[in-house]
């Protein structure tokens, strides 16, 4: 079905819970040619950025890396957050990262770090830098709207603590913040993850895309997205045809292993990837069972696929991301990677002093340090 199409997954999670070879094998199993590894703050070591850089260094033609922001700054540099993030982002670019992944718009993360509103002045220096340098952001903003409704939230989400009462940011308030950011920095290059959680309000999303030509969305489940698409298939198809250049294929594979610290369930991950592709391309409706994949739903449901034309599929499955980036993956600088490992160890040592309960992971830094030192020797850097 996808013969002759380059498949690029713009949204895969990665840390060393998954070895580089395991990740490449998973990509191959999911028929993925190129992937963007999105790094999020790690509870046990603060940063998994160098994990992603090691994977990228081993497979330089197949891997992009979007670094997480510096979670340590949320505790140490609250009043100069924008300036701190500019320094961090510039260092990540020099290290070989291709963009920034912002998980900070997920309500539980925003609450955890007690973040200021995104349209607050403290963020200005960061967003101005990202706009001026055209360094891209893949941004998770909000969650499915039913997560704010105790009667509507699915059981699997409730069990994960994703019911958002009034101690969390309201999703409409956060949308307003983001709209203010886009108005102030109209040339930001952004991919909003999970269709910006606006699959039920395509008119609103269309208005945002029309106003902001550098804004894109990805198709990473949230399975509610596909349920909403099915409920309004005609309008969804029209939306995909009109905005075929602004939509990217993504899967979120790797998430379960990272969040739960277990091994890869490759069948579950492949089911997730196949579901996205099948929804885009199939002609006949199909049933998704509640056992299909991680964080899917509480019961079986039927999807009515879009049966998109091949020229549209080709864009969504790969071309749009590659055009958005406009370059091959940046080369990893092993010296900066080594320095980042050192900095991360220092930060983690501080966190261990203030947090005696968490079992922090220092061992992975030893593995990373050894790898990048060896690479430096091979490259004549040491």
Per-chain mean pLDDT for the chain: 91
Spatial distance between the Cα atoms of 184 and 186, rounded to a whole number of angstroms: 6
264 within domain boundaries: yes
* Percent of the chain topping pLDDT 90: 70
Other Cβ atoms within 10 Å of 144 Cβ, number: 23
2 burial class (0-12, 13-18, 19+ CB within 10 angstroms)? middle
* 355 falls within a domain: no
Q: Is 357 inside a domain boundary?
A: no
Which two tokens mark 60?
A: 């330089």
Whether 358 is in a domain gets the answer no
Q: What is the pLDDT of residues 26-63, one digit of tens each?
A: 999 999 999 999 999 887 888 899 999 999 999 999 99
C-alpha span between 53 and 308 (Å, rounded): 35
Residue 372 lies in a domain: no
What DSSP element (H or E) covers 156?
Answer: helix 155-159
Computed on alpha carbons and rounded to an integer, the radius of gyration of the chain in Å comes to: 20
301-340 in b/e form (b: 16+ CB < 10 A) is bebbbbebeeebbbbbbbbbbbebbeeebbebbbbbbbeb
What is the domain range of residue 101?
8-328
- Enter the DSSP assignment of 117: P
pTM, to two decimals: 0.93
What value, to the nearest 5°, has the Cα angle with vertex 141 and ends 245 and 8? 40
Q: Is the four-CA dihedral 324, 327, 331, 333 of positive or negative sign? A: negative
Q: How far apart are CA 108 and CA 51, in angstroms?
A: 24
Question: What's the rounded Cα separation, in Å, for the pair 354 and 157?
Answer: 31
Strand partners of residue 141: 105
**Cα separation, 294 vs 316, whole angstroms:** 23
Q: Structurally, how many domains does the chain consist of?
A: 1
Q: Is 32 helix (H, G, I), strand (E, B) or coil?
A: coil
Q: How far apart are the C-alpha atoms of 330 and 95, rounded to whole Å? A: 9
Query: Residue 350 domain-assigned?
Result: no
Of 110-124, 129-143, 258-272, least confident by mean pLDDT is 258-272
Residue 359 lies in a domain: no
* Residue 365 tokens, joined: 């830094």
pLDDT in tens, 299-334: 788 899 999 999 999 999 999 999 999 999 999 999
CATH number (domain holding residue 224)? 3.20.20.140
CA angle 361, 75, 159 (to 5 degrees): 65
379 belongs to a structural domain: no
């Amino acid at each position: 079905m996808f013969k002759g199409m380059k498949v690029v997954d713009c949204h895969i999670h990665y840390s060393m819970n998954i070895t580089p070879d395991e990740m490449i094998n998973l990509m191959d199993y999911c028929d993925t040619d190129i992937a963007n590894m999105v790094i999020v703050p790690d509870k046990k070591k603060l940063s998994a950025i160098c994990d992603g850089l090691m994977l990228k260094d081993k497979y330089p033609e197949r891997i992009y890396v979007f670094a997480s922001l510096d979670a340590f700054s949320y505790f140490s540099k609250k009043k100069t957050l924008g300036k701190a993030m500019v320094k961090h982002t510039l260092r990540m670019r020099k290290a070989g990262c291709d963009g920034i992944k912002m998980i900070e718009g997920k309500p539980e993360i925003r609450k955890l770090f007690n973040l200021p509103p995104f349209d607050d002045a403290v963020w200005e220096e960061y967003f101005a830098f990202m706009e001026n340098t055209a360094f891209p952001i893949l941004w998770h903003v909000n969650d499915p709207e039913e997560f704010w409704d105790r009667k509507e939230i699915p059981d699997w989400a409730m069990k994960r603590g994703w019911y958002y009462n009034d101690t969390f940011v309201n999703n409409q308030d956060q949308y307003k913040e983001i709209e203010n950011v886009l108005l102030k920095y109209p040339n930001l290059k952004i991919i909003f993850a999970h269709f910006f959680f606006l699959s039920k309000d395509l008119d609103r999303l269309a208005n945002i895309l029309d106003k902001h030509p550098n804004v894109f969305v990805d198709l990473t489940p949230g399975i509610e997205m596909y349920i909403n698409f099915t409920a309004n298939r005609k309008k969804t198809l029209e939306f995909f045809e009109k905005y075929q250049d602004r939509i990217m294929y993504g899967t979120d594979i790797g998430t379960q292993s990272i969040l739960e610290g277990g091994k890869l369930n490759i069948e579950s991950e492949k089911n997730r990837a196949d579901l996205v592709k099948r929804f885009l391309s199939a002609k006949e409706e199909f049933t998704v069972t509640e056992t299909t994949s991680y964080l899917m739903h509480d019961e079986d449901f039927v999807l009515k696929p879009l049966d998109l034309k091949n020229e549209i599929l080709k864009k969504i499955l790969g071309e749009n991301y590659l055009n958005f980036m406009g370059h091959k993956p940046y080369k990893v600088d092993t010296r900066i990677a080594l320095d980042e490992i050192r900095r991360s160890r220092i930060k983690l040592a501080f966190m261990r002093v203030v947090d005696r309960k968490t079992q922090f992971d220092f061992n992975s830094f030893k593995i990373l340090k050894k790898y990048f030192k060896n690479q430096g020797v091979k490259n004549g850097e040491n």
